Amino acid sequence: MRRRALLALVPAAAGGLGAVGGCGFELRRPPELPFSRLALAGFAPRSPLADEIKRTLALTLEVVEQMNRAEAVLQSLVDRREKSVTASTAAGQVRAMQLRLRFEFRLVTPGGREYIPDTVLQLARDMSYSETFALAKEQEEQQLYAAMQTDIVQLLMRRLAEVKKA
């Protein structure tokens, strides 16, 4: 009796799974940008954020070195990683830290007309800390910064997709 009841449920479950394809679910893809060529300016020579921005932008447009060939210029004003102690013991040992990633930028034409005024994107993550696990905590810190950097790039891409060219 129990086996027959389970077999009766199988066709309904299979039909339910087929319906998922028509529910509108779609994998995330890079947003459509209103430019075909973009230049980056003001980034530090080996900025990890600039490298990730270039890789992400290259999926949808051409990143050019010469500003006069670009339709728009992404100017970095601030690209900074910060770390501060948020909790410590009475003996002065660090117990918790806050990691922050701050990116200030603007988007202009090569001629200087503003598409996006000065904008700040800032993320913060809290992290516990222990001297005993210093090496592991250093790796965790790098992973948190990498995740925040990816989030910043995704936020930037959404901002760039909203630009209206005149």
In this model, does residue 36 exceed pLDDT 70? yes
pTM: 0.78
Spell out the domain ranges in the chain: 34-161
Beta strands in the chain (DSSP E): 37-41, 62-64, 72-88, 94-108, 114-128
In this model, does residue 64 exceed pLDDT 70? yes
Token reading at 134: 């210093």
CA distance 127 to 94: 11
C-alpha dist (Å) from residue 52 to 21, 48, 112: 32, 6, 25
* CATH number at 34-161: 3.30.160.150
Strand partners, 126: 98
DSSP state, residue 102: E
Taking residues 92-102, what's their average pLDDT? 93
pLDDT, one tens digit per residue, over 116-134 is 999 999 999 999 998 888 8
Say if CB 100 and CB 124 are below 8 A apart.
yes
